[in-house]
Amino acid sequence: MKPNVKNMAFAGIIACLYVILTLVPGLSALSFGPLQLRIAEVLTVLPVFSPWAIAGLSVGCAISNLASPMMALDLPLGTLATFLAALCTYLLRKKPKLALAMPAIFNGLIIGSIITFFYSDIAAKPLILIGNMFTVAAGEIIVCYALGLPLVKYLKKNNIFNI
């Protein structure tokens, strides 16, 4: 897809929605920490429909992570996790049920490691590392499959993206 105003606006809207859904009072408490239910992650389904969602999600995540208590690590590495997850979601778009696992995999591995490194010594506590990876991935699975999969079905059924 060529860059045009419509595609860039789409990416910008996704970035804005991601920030709002991450930082709005009430939801922000769920957005950071070992057990994350970052509601904004429901938007990670959008690369199934458009590669422009990758940019929107990455920018939205970067802006949101400026509010993270682990900002020094979360800003670059959390944004990288979101970018990689969104890219793989797009590449697997023909298999949405598999594609939606990408945020759980990348965030589980990367964010779980960040949380462990930030709050404890990874080398001394491998079970904590595995636990953090698991809880972050579990939060992603809940959001992506409980909210994201119905969203994909709704968007396809209603031909929102002209699929």
Angstrom distance (rounded) from CA 38 to CA 129? 20
Q: Please state, in angstroms and as integers, the Cα–Cα distance from residue 13 to each residue in 46, 53, 86, 139, 150, following that order.
A: 12, 9, 16, 24, 20
Mean of pLDDT values over 75-102 = 95
Mean pLDDT across the chain: 89
For each of the domains in the chain, give its residue range(s) and CATH number, in order of start: 5-157 (1.10.1760)
Lowest mean pLDDT among 56-60, 78-82, 127-131, 145-149: 127-131
Provide the angle, in degrees to the nearest 10, between the axes of the packed helices 126-141 and 102-119. 140
- Could you tell me the pLDDT band of residue 163, with boundaries at 50, 70 and 90? very low
